[in-house]
Structure 1
């Protein structure tokens, strides 16, 4: 594994490691994200071993270089379905990071002999159980929750609950110092906890890196590529992405039937497109999540109907709540050329069987966030990956130029 950069400088990770950490680092990767947690741990081990120096022999650094920063923790359940959080080692005085994937529906438990799949509510309860098991003995408590629990219920439009704000306040009341998430549905939900740490990261660099690896001949310029926002809610992502890579942007807005509610939401009547001509161009449709995929598939079809050469879908969270059949159909018909999503939430084995699906690995990114926080280093450059995107595109354009010689 290679060293990761902070400010597009290969020496920055070594400079960071010269600083004394806030407290000894410990990570709890909850059952729903064991694989991701192990990758993050391996990167941090690599970071620190590759920056080894003589002063690390000091007793002050006795806990700094480890082969493993993961805590042995789990949440066993009783036959009634009730559970408890158990830590099998001490976290006293540690800078503790707890990683959880509230969307991992693959885990099951028994309730009076019946098999029950874990819901986001179950994962959230287990998170609170492990926080309770730590019992406030940690030096600092940080939560890494890539898919922010109840983030789609972030505002009140009538008499309804404000679940996301309540969850954030509850975590803070339990002693959490910082909450890290990715592509929050509406980052303004942090107003519920204005005096505490809340950071929402976006993965445009990882999207572009994964796309260029999968499509090495893709031309990234205004004549050949365009960024598409599938709705008004994704506008800020698309505007940033298009400005940084220097291409045009278009958007759709959803016309909904507000007189009807189906599966808890107003059905979409039509998608209306606003933007320049896309005929002959490749397009990247970028959004925070694919749930059922209905909206994204309709946008992709309309792009191809308008003459798009290739359609690439980039989404932070691939939930695929209605399965993959519709995506397979649209790929076979040529409406979708590639779907790129991160490994921040659970992806079933069937995902990896499809050649048009590509994973943007976020484990190195999370490892950098944790290591930076543990050293109390500014993470502003992580929040804005502009420099890394520019460097990536410069390398890609040089490679294309060499191929065309």
Structure 2
């Protein structure tokens, strides 16, 4: 019996990343028509035979979130109805992840709803990166491979010479302490935290800092930034406490117009992010690192039924 062939398809959310992944692992990007009708309805047609094949569908659910989510669901359904052997949804950025609990009366748990939709569409496996909260993996009733962007950030930090005794890794809020602690351990640096108070959905008032940043180079770490309010306010607090420089490492930069305006202020020396979603630097100090190699290697290992644990390791650790 012939082993299933590896097939990779992409929606319109982040086709350049899909093309980069395919180039990195030497697999051609599959032919598919992904467009929409004049009334906005999505239309998908897979233009090659995938019967019995190992199919990977690459789609970040970034802006416009609902449209890209529907593209993903329809592509999965098309692959299922075309008799694919296995369908892995590759979701570098998982939208709706911040709605992962009932924190007030009569609100949904949308992260779970989206997980249900993806499974119902026909996905048999998920490959994603830096979920907003670890428990989202449990929202799926299918296997989830959860990667981290930390190896990519680590290489960049070493390249620019930040990884030394003068570095302090800081979480811009209480919720990110576990992530910041992991980065601090990885980089052998001190750890700090900013305690913040949110005043609205778009504004944050940072209140105090825990840890010593006086005369230090600070690396703020977070998984998502949209308005950059948390990062900018944390950076202001860092500088007020004597930080020499402030950089931010954020896995998913969903930069809104408000975020670009705030970044122009210069409080952050460099925003380091990844290409899990398309990012336009717009002449600002924004460095976009590629996760194509990481995702590509994960795809190959999943296809060959190998462990992906080795992808969590960083050179020298």
* TM-score, reference length from structure 2: 0.93
Q: How many Å apart are 1:23 and its aligned residue?
A: 2.1
| Conserved 8 A contact 1:341-1:359 | yes
- Unaligned runs of at least 5 residues, structure 2: none
> Which residue matches 2:43?
84
Identify the match of residue 205 of structure 1 among 128, 145, 151. 151
Structure 1 residue 38, shift from structure 2 partner? 0.8
CA distance in structure 2 between the partners assigned to 1:74 and 1:274 by the alignment: 52
Residue 343 of structure 1 pairs with residue 285 of structure 2:
no
Aligned equivalents of 1:274, 1:294: Cα separation in 2: 19
1:156 aligns with 2:85: no
Cα distance, 1:267–1:304 mapped onto 2, change above 3 Å: closer
Higher relative contact order, structure no. (Cα contacts within 8 Å, ≥ 6 residues apart): 1
RMSD (CA atoms): 2.0
Q: Is the 8 A contact 1:226 1:282 kept in 2?
A: yes
Deviations 1:253-275 (A, max 9, x none): 22245xxxx4xx38534332111
Instruction: Summarize the alignment of residues 232-247 of structure 1 with structure 2, pairs less than 5 Å apart.
Output: 232-247=174-189
CA distance in structure 2 between the aligned counterparts of 1:237 and 1:203, rounded to whole angstroms: 11
Q: Which residue in the other structure is 2:194 paired with?
A: 252
**Post-superposition shift, 1:366?**
0.7
Unaligned residue ranges in structure 1 (runs of 5+)? 1-19, 46-67, 106-118, 392-405
CA contact (8 A) 2:169 2:220 kept: yes
1:360-375 aligned at under 5 Å gives the runs 360-375=289-304
SS in 2 for 1:221: coil
* Equivalence for 1:64: none
Deviation at 1:192, TM superposition (A): 2.3
| Maintained 8 Å contact 1:254/1:268 | yes
Q: Which residue in the other structure is 1:31 paired with?
A: 12
Query: Which residue in the other structure is 2:31 paired with?
Result: 72
* CA-to-aligned-CA distance 1:280-309 (integer Å, 9 cap, x gap): 111110000111001100101111111111
Give, in whole Å, the separation in 2 of the partners of 1:227 and 1:360: 19
State which of 28, 52, 75 in structure 2 corresponds to 1:130.
Answer: 75
Q: Could you tell me how far apart the structure 2 residues matched to 1:169 and 1:206 are?
A: 31
- Return the structure number with greater strand share: 2
Shift of 1:190: 2.3
Paired residues, what number? Answer: 314
2: CA distance, partners of 1:380 / 1:21 = 27
Q: 2:305 — aligned with what?
A: 376
Aligned 8 A contact 1:255 1:272 in 2: no
Select which of 277, 298, 301 maps to 2:233: 298
Counterpart pick for 2:131 among 172, 184, 198: 184
User: TM-score, structure 1 length as denominator?
Assistant: 0.74
SS across alignment from 2:40: coil
